[in-house]
Chain A
Amino acid sequence: MVRRHWSAGRRAVAAALGLVALTVGCRADDIVVPESDEPFLFLVLNWRTLSNYDLETFSQHALLITAGSPDESPRYRSAQRFEMRRASDGALFDWRAHTRLYPEASGSIDFIELNWANYYLPQESSGNGLAYRDLEPGETYELEIETEGVVLRGRATIPESFTVSILVQDGRRIAVWPRVRGAGGYIVGVEGELQPDTTYVIPADVPAGALLQVRALDENLYRYLADDRVGRSGIDRGYGVFGAVVFAETTVPERP
């Protein structure tokens, strides 16, 4: 019997052909990028909280965009009706569209500068409705926005105003405040930690004279911040949050 053996060269050629055959069809599947026409609203009613914005023309604003696609910068969305009423008497607020904006919200695909929100509430009433200064702690507000064929409704209560005091105990400085009616939780401390409790041990390295801020968040906003799986809080359609926040501050005393 004659047995034929392949030469080393022919084996190498065969191996190379085999490799080519193996690589055919090696293609990565694309993940479908979500595209959503749903509106996204960020409206946090603040009372003496967000006063650190540069713009002097308004201090209470709202961002209304289309959720869109994660690989594109978000685009502003117009509201055919943007109504917010005080629940106690039904009085309407004077929400206005900001007109100096580009089509895309300022920022990038992964952040937005809220200074460039597209709706705002004037500081003072001009006779067309209530203004920023008419917001009151403890009051409930009802929202109804009609935007490009979608109507979303929401309801939020600004937590009561409160004060913070500092106890010195066992060599520690402890900030304490009462449980705030209407609040679901608090942001406190240097790192801005979110917590449901009403005490906070001030770190030893915080110098005397520093201002300690405590922000009381309503249930809607606390829920929205506490769980990054939450897509909607305080509104019945679309994505986003309709919430409220108040703040109190105090001066940190000397370490004992």
Chain B
Amino acid sequence: MLIVPTALAAQADVALRGRVVDAAGNPLAGAVVEVLGSYRSVLTRADGGFELRLPSAGEVRIRAGRIGYTPQVIVLVAGDVAPSDSLVIRLAPDPVALRGISVEAPRAPPLAHTVTRATVRQVPPLAEPDIFRGVVLLPGVSQPNDLKGRIHLAGGSSDETGVRLDGHPLQDPFHLLGLFGAFNTAALERADVLIHHLPASLDGRLSGVIDLETRRAGAEPEYEGVLSLLSSSITASRPAGIGGVDMLAAGRITYLDRVVPHFFDDAPRLGFYDALIRLGRSWEPGWRVEALVFTTRDHFAERELAGLRGYEPLTWGESLVGVRAERRGVPWSVSARASFNRASIHVDERNLDSPAGRANHVDSRRDWLSGAVGVAYAAHRWRLDVGAGLDRRVNRQEWTARGLIDEIFSPNTPAEYAGEESLTLLSLFGEGAAELGGGWSAALGARVWSAGGVHVAPRARLGLRVSDALALEAALNRRYQWDAQLEEPIEGSVTAPLFLLEEPRIADVAAFSVRLEPEELPFGGQGAFHIQAFWKEYRDRPILPERPPGEGRPETAGPDFPAFDRIRGRRAGAMVSGRLAFPGGALVQGSYTFQRVFEEIGGREYPTAWDVPHTLALFGSVPLGARWTFNVAYHAHSGRATTPVVARIFAPRNDDFNQIGARYILGERNSIRVPPYHRLDLGVRREGRLWGADVTVFFQVLNLLFRENAIDYDWLRYFRRISTGHRSGAGRSGLPILPSIGVEARW
């Protein structure tokens, strides 16, 4: 709805002022107001206000949008706008848009998908909503098995996926050996998943970035508590108060370590917490400064060792302190960021006061100090972004970990290692974009890295908006990455050791996208459909060299460890996704992804261990009356590639020559697959009011079909089971059938 309270008098080249409000007249902060067909756009302030410069003459179309609201387009004649005019744009809620996994979001980067707090909540969760368990239903995004929460983007390895929180880089934001994300979903606003095209201001990851934004303050204080079988959390969001400072505070803690031992005596003591505080202040015209503190910590104590004097259990986590300042305006926008981040792992069993037959020790501390500045100038038909970044990383890692090697480290990892390495990276970037007319747009840019030489990462993007319903985009990127994990973990684990690289990993990415948003579909439905295809060439991928036959596991790392081999590889794929929303609120969303990932070793190409050719994700949501919502998610993909056993033979176990045990001789690398993965999850949400609060009870059953989805083969167990007739799912399996319940309360 548009209300224009005062006459728009004719005047050239004038700033347009206004406010964006909701249906009740409350201001909407963070809404995007843009001049369609141009690069002029602004975000509304906390009071919903905005100021936008219009071109000096001609008809302009102003679009205002915010996630969860139906966007409004207003047509104005620029010359008729007077300085004293104030435009009030009223946005109506659009609950349908909240029920899909991905939403058509204002500010979404090109070729990206966006999910929101509200959409993630609809996905039947593993005990409680998790942003990473939501994004996995997007095309091109995968988690190879239930026990691995780390994300693979378009067939890349998990260490090629970057995670940022309000622009600050994170290293390992996961709980419970990677099973869950380390974010309290109530404290997040949205996540943009960038895979096929990274703007020049973003680089450093070969596969893409999950760009998380913390919850924005509303017009009124908002409080939210979540109670689940896994943990409890509290989130408080307050608008500008004392000194004009707005605040977000959130904390979450599990009680697994207290509850589980009552039911399972031999279960390890496993616990975690995470917390986030953000303070922000806004000034006119369009300035905002934010300080952010985020921390996450897990602990894992072996049952038989817990309580022994001298035992320091496994702990890991990450802490971030960041400051961000920005001014969003037209034509100038500026931004600056400084971040310090530390990820650590620690366990020490060396000082146990009773012999336990173990002496594991891991002490890892990875510090990442980074900063960036950027300036953008948005003219009517073109936009220019320039900036610089500085990264200083220091990794101190040491371990004596014979007993932990198979769980955390690569099979080629030496039993002992101690080392420190550092890396300083300076980068400059620039990117220009222009509307070329006729629906064509183009962007050209590059990021230049200086470390051990100069490395240029050019990128280009070409877009064609055929109509309001149909848009085509193509992108070419070169990407660099300056670290590498030793080996891709098969299942959930503490982060494998990560090493900095003097010579970066390199990949070239080409992508093409078609986006179709028909005005209306049969039965009054609305929908959006995407087709995307990509090709990626790894020019310089590091892998640990396999040790030659006859050499056992190295005891101590040499001075040149890890001395990665550099190989080539490639991946290619295509994905189709769509979302259909029907009157009454029913919604169906689905995606199919085909992709292959190969690496070239010794002159031959092999699938990687995470190569998963076919992935299907379906999500449906049906309102059942006014208060109930029924949600279903189905996820299926090919089994991951693994190496088969071609023969069982026998060998003595060192000094015991009386009995010889089975040894399995492996065949060609990654030439078979574990059985396909299928999982069906159901969830029900009921909303209501209780003691003045909006209360939602959510109940879900994960893996309703009770399918044993194999993670990998434990060959001995596998052959033992098939000898007794159990052929499916033998080996290490993922989740059992898992019902859970939780409560959200908002007031």
* B410, chain A: closest CB distance, angstroms: 15
Residue in B closest to A229 when the chains form the complex, CB atoms: B549
Tell me, yes or no, whether A102 is within 8 Å of chain B by CB: no
Tell me, yes or no, whether B665 is within 8 Å of chain A by CB: yes
* B586, chain A: closest CB distance, angstroms: 7
Task: Report yes or no: B655 in contact with A192, Cβ–Cβ below 8 A.
Answer: yes
Task: Report yes or no: A227 in contact with B647, Cβ–Cβ below 8 A.
Answer: no
Number of chain B residues whose Cβ lies closer than 8 Å to a Cβ of chain A:
64
Footprint of B on A, CB under 8 Å?
A: 3, 5-6, 8, 11-12, 14-15, 18-19, 22-23, 26-34, 36, 38, 40, 42, 44, 46, 49-50, 52-53, 63, 67-72, 74, 107, 109-115, 187, 191-194, 213, 215, 222-231, 239-241, 245
Tell me, yes or no, whether B552 is within 8 Å of chain A by CB: yes
What are the residues of chain B within 8 A of A225 when measuring CB–CB? Answer: 651-652, 654
* A171, chain B: closest CB distance, angstroms: 20
Known: A3-B583, A36-B647. A226 touches B659 (CB 8 A): no
Bound form: Cα–Cα A26–B708 in Å: 11
Known: A11-B624, A36-B646, A229-B549. A109 touches B723 (CB 8 A): yes
Known: A28-B727, A193-B654. A114 touches B660 (CB 8 A): yes
Task: Report yes or no: A114 in contact with B657, Cβ–Cβ below 8 A.
Answer: yes
What are the residues of chain B within 8 A of A113 when measuring CB–CB? Answer: 658-659
What are the residues of chain B within 8 A of A5 when measuring CB–CB? Answer: 583-584
Task: Report yes or no: A192 in contact with B654, Cβ–Cβ below 8 A.
Answer: yes
Task: Report yes or no: B658 in contact with A192, Cβ–Cβ below 8 A.
Answer: no
Tell me, yes or no, whether B111 is within 8 Å of chain A by CB: no
Footprint of A on B, CB under 8 Å?
A: 524, 549-552, 583-584, 586, 618, 620, 622, 624-625, 628, 630, 632, 634, 636, 639, 644-666, 672-676, 678, 680, 682, 705, 707, 710, 713, 715-716, 718-720, 722-723, 727-729
Task: Report yes or no: A111 in contact with B647, Cβ–Cβ below 8 A.
Answer: no
* A52, chain B: closest CB distance, angstroms: 7
Task: Report yes or no: B723 in contact with A231, Cβ–Cβ below 8 A.
Answer: no
Task: Report yes or no: A228 in contact with B722, Cβ–Cβ below 8 A.
Answer: no
Task: Report yes or no: A227 in contact with B676, Cβ–Cβ below 8 A.
Answer: no
Bound form: Cα–Cα A222–B682 in Å: 55
Task: Report yes or no: A68 in contact with B648, Cβ–Cβ below 8 A.
Answer: yes
Known: A192-B654, A227-B550. A8 touches B664 (CB 8 A): no
19 further A-B contacts with Cβ under 8 Å, apart from A112-B660, A226-B550, are: A6-B586, A18-B620, A27-B728, A30-B727, A31-B644, A34-B645, A46-B657, A63-B650, A63-B660, A67-B648, A107-B659, A111-B660, A114-B659, A192-B654, A226-B552, A230-B550, A239-B647, A239-B665, A245-B657
Known: A31-B644, A71-B719. A8 touches B552 (CB 8 A): no
Chosen A-B contacts, 23 in total, with CB atoms closer than 8 Å, are A8-B625, A8-B628, A11-B586, A11-B622, A12-B630, A18-B620, A19-B680, A28-B727, A29-B639, A29-B673, A31-B644, A33-B722, A109-B662, A111-B650, A112-B659, A113-B658, A192-B654, A222-B550, A225-B654, A227-B550, A230-B549, A230-B550, A245-B657
Task: Report yes or no: B705 in contact with A23, Cβ–Cβ below 8 A.
Answer: yes
For A18, A71, A194, the residue with the greatest tally of chain B CB atoms inside 10 Å of its CB is A71
Task: Report yes or no: A23 in contact with B680, Cβ–Cβ below 8 A.
Answer: yes
Residue in A closest to B550 when the chains form the complex, CB atoms: A223
Task: Report yes or no: A26 in contact with B705, Cβ–Cβ below 8 A.
Answer: yes
What are the residues of chain B within 8 A of A109 when measuring CB–CB? Answer: 648, 662, 719-720, 723
Chain B at the A interface: mostly helix, strand, loop or mixed? Answer: strand
What are the residues of chain A within 8 A of B720 when measuring CB–CB? Answer: 71, 109-110
Task: Report yes or no: B718 in contact with A31, Cβ–Cβ below 8 A.
Answer: yes
For B632, B654, B660, B672, the residue with the greatest tally of chain A CB atoms inside 10 Å of its CB is B660
What are the residues of chain A within 8 A of B639 when measuring CB–CB? Answer: 29
What are the residues of chain A within 8 A of B551 when measuring CB–CB? Answer: 226-227
Bound form: Cα–Cα A30–B674 in Å: 9
Task: Report yes or no: B729 in contact with A28, Cβ–Cβ below 8 A.
Answer: yes
Task: Report yes or no: A111 in contact with B665, Cβ–Cβ below 8 A.
Answer: no
**A-B residue pairs, 9 tightest by C-beta:** A192-B655, A28-B728, A70-B648, A28-B675, A71-B723, A110-B662, A192-B654, A70-B719, A231-B665
* B503, chain A: closest CB distance, angstroms: 30
Task: Report yes or no: A15 in contact with B630, Cβ–Cβ below 8 A.
Answer: yes
What are the residues of chain B within 8 A of A3 when measuring CB–CB? Answer: 524, 583
What are the residues of chain A within 8 A of B666 when measuring CB–CB? Answer: 229
Bound form: Cα–Cα A253–B729 in Å: 54
What are the residues of chain B within 8 A of A31 when measuring CB–CB? Answer: 644, 672, 674-675, 713, 718
Bound form: Cα–Cα A215–B683 in Å: 62
Task: Report yes or no: B650 in contact with A40, Cβ–Cβ below 8 A.
Answer: yes
Bound form: Cα–Cα A224–B620 in Å: 55
Bound form: Cα–Cα A187–B657 in Å: 12
